[in-house]
Amino acid sequence: MKTLRIRGGACLQGTAAVPGDKSISHRAVILASLATGTSTIRGFVPARDCLATVRAMRALGVPIMVEQSPDRDRAAPPASNLIVHGVGPRRLEPPKKPIDCGGSATTMRLLAGVLAAQPFSSMLTGNTQLLARPMGRIVQPLQRMGATIHALGKENRPPLAIHPAEQLCGAIIHTPAASAQVKSCLLLAGLFAQGETTVAQPCVTRDHTERLMRSLGVCVRNRELESARVSICPPSLQPELSRMDTVVPGDMSSAAFLIAAAAVCANSRVTIQHVGLNPTRAGFLNALRRMGIQRECREHVDDASDDAREPVGDVTIRSAPLRGIHIPCRHSNADRDVTRCKDVIHRASTSIVAMIDELPLLAVAATQARGATLVRQAAELRVKEVDRITGIAEELRKLGGDIQELPDGFRVQGPTPLRGAAVDSRGDHRLAMALAVAGLCAQGQTTVAGAECVDDSFPGFADCLRRLGARVEEAEQS
Ligand code: S3P
């Protein structure tokens, strides 16, 4: 077991890069596998979750080579280049045994959309954490499209057993949860369905699948600009998926830990280079701005010219006195604010979905903010890798945080001086890193037990913090 040992009172200075975006890495491997020809994916994050997707596609007969990225300097986090010899959408091979998705719900949910349309049976399984995640949200709509898919666990939990269906049929599917994984699963199934498939969600969710699909020539339509209703044209109207040559931008959800650390550690100034600025993911940056943080964003890749059509840029953050906020904001029409406009940061949303993975980290920042921070409508956090509402509330209290758990969120009263303590990741990568950030502004030493899960999304996290001046050590414990 790995432990992170953090000394408080750091001041962070310098420039950093973070690993490639996890969501984009998953999608790029799956789509490159379904394309015809050889694709290269540079800046792929060799995180445990994304490597599970690579293993899964290999199990379906797709040759994939993983190389250590040669064009990264030693100061950069680990990155891989992937060479994917795409077999085309109809030439996947039956897997010889159940596909193990490890702890990655993204792998399981996205792949289910592809496998539901194949002329062979398959089974998707995973570790104990993944076997506890809800799958009814994809099983039911896939069944509506004609798929033969069943969740074998209690209450629609995995494993998932998938059998050949005659032909998937496009449908208009309203999903109660605003989930990019569900949307992506159905769009992938829609690639094989007869007729148009439309996914209508309560609000706009991360749109990496749509951007990547469009870059491969797939016809994906939004009824209105950036609406929460997305349609994929039937295969008869689609050209073959073309091969891709893409560079995965840095993951905003990983950058968020460095950004938050710079925000809460006095006299800090940090620049994160080449990070994804997709407005559907920039909620945390916007929230920090509303809390009083000064930051500059310089977008340096044109939205439309990048291969994956993702806006990318550098973000500089300086520490500042923070004030509490309410999320969702009482007056915002947040979802309509998500635009494709170049000025992504000013226009982008502070909706819950635009920062869903960053909410535990927001609780940490809120302990240092004047006044109350209230997060509601975030019950989805209870069905992530672990229950992240209970997890962050109980662990932050050990450090002296004044945080109250609510059924669908939390309330933090600040500012409170944190004091170093022994805390536990509970096996959740985002909790582990959020608690490490809390340790940076706590007095004395904090230890985060169970820190090996950091590798699920951010290999090289501790190195990255050290290079910025933080005192963080990793220790192995038996
Ligand atoms: C993800 C979507 C989000 C997010 C997860 C990754 C994705 O989950 O929390 O870490 O890659 O689509 P939901 O779609 O379930 O909200």
Helix (H, G, I), strand (E, B) or coil at 236: helix
State in Å: Cα 181 to ligand 1 middle. Answer: 5
- Average pLDDT rounded to a whole number, residues 443-470: 97
- Kindly tell me the sign of the dihedral angle through the C-alpha atoms of 45, 46, 47, 49: positive
State in Å: Cα 446 to ligand 1 middle. Answer: 29
Helix (H, G, I), strand (E, B) or coil at 64: strand
- Kindly tell me the sign of the dihedral angle through the C-alpha atoms of 322, 401, 389, 23: positive
Query: What's the pLDDT at 335?
Result: 39
Residue 207 Cβ inside 6 Å of ligand 1? The answer reads: no
Contact call for residues 320 and 268 (beta carbons, < 8 A): no
Residue 356 Cβ inside 6 Å of ligand 1? The answer reads: yes
Helix (H, G, I), strand (E, B) or coil at 348: coil
Contact call for residues 21 and 251 (beta carbons, < 8 A): yes
Helix (H, G, I), strand (E, B) or coil at 336: helix
Query: Closest Cα to atom 13, ligand 1: which residue?
Result: 179
Strand partners, 6: 446, 472
- pLDDT single digits (tens) 317-366: 999 999 999 998 654 444 343 333 333 333 446 789 999 999 999 999 99
User: Can you say how many angstroms the Cα of residue 46 is from the centroid of all Cα atoms in its chain?
Assistant: 14
- pLDDT single digits (tens) 99-150: 999 999 999 999 999 999 999 999 999 999 999 999 999 999 999 999 999 9
Helix (H, G, I), strand (E, B) or coil at 70: coil
- Kindly tell me the sign of the dihedral angle through the C-alpha atoms of 441, 447, 450, 454: positive
- pLDDT single digits (tens) 202-226: 888 999 999 999 999 899 988 655 5
Query: What's the pLDDT at 296?
Result: 73
Residue 209 Cβ inside 6 Å of ligand 1? The answer reads: no
- Average pLDDT rounded to a whole number, residues 235-241: 78
Query: What's the pLDDT at 307?
Result: 54
- Average pLDDT rounded to a whole number, residues 387-394: 98
Residue 215 Cβ inside 6 Å of ligand 1? The answer reads: no
Query: Closest Cα to atom 10, ligand 1: which residue?
Result: 357
d(CA 24, CA 214): 14
Query: What's the pLDDT at 304?
Result: 45
Highest mean pLDDT among 26-40, 204-218, 289-303, 309-323: 26-40
Q: What percent of the chain has pLDDT over 90?
A: 80
Tell me the catalytic residues: 357
Q: Which amino acid is at 277?
A: L
Query: What's the pLDDT at 225?
Result: 53
Structure tokens at 398: 């050990």
Side by side, which strands form the sheet with 172-174? 172-174, 197-200, 229-232, 220-222
Using the atom order of ligand 1, give the atom closest to the CA of residue 23.
Answer: 11
Could you give the C-alpha distances from 66 to 41, 44, 56, 85, 250, in angstroms and in order? 10, 9, 14, 12, 18
Query: Closest Cα to atom 16, ligand 1: which residue?
Result: 179
- Average pLDDT rounded to a whole number, residues 167-189: 95
Q: Sorting pLDDT into bands at 50, 70 and 90, what band is 79?
A: confident
Residue 254 Cβ inside 6 Å of ligand 1? The answer reads: no
State in Å: Cα 182 to ligand 1 middle. Answer: 9
d(CA 347, CA 343): 6
What backbone torsions phi and psi does residue 78 show, to the nearest 5 degrees? -60, 140
Side by side, which strands form the sheet with 269-276? 13-17, 269-276, 312-318, 294-301
State in Å: Cα 380 to ligand 1 middle. Answer: 10
- Average pLDDT rounded to a whole number, residues 446-472: 97
> Mean pLDDT over all residues of the chain?
91
d(CA 165, CA 147): 5
- Average pLDDT rounded to a whole number, residues 36-51: 95
- Residue 114 burial by CB count (10 A; 0-12/13-18/19+): exposed, middle or buried? buried
Helix (H, G, I), strand (E, B) or coil at 158: coil
- Residue 347 burial by CB count (10 A; 0-12/13-18/19+): exposed, middle or buried? middle
Q: Sorting pLDDT into bands at 50, 70 and 90, what band is 177?
A: confident
Query: What's the pLDDT at 295?
Result: 73
User: Can you say how many angstroms the Cα of residue 17 is from the centroid of all Cα atoms in its chain?
Assistant: 17
Contact call for residues 399 and 420 (beta carbons, < 8 A): yes
Query: What's the pLDDT at 349?
Result: 67
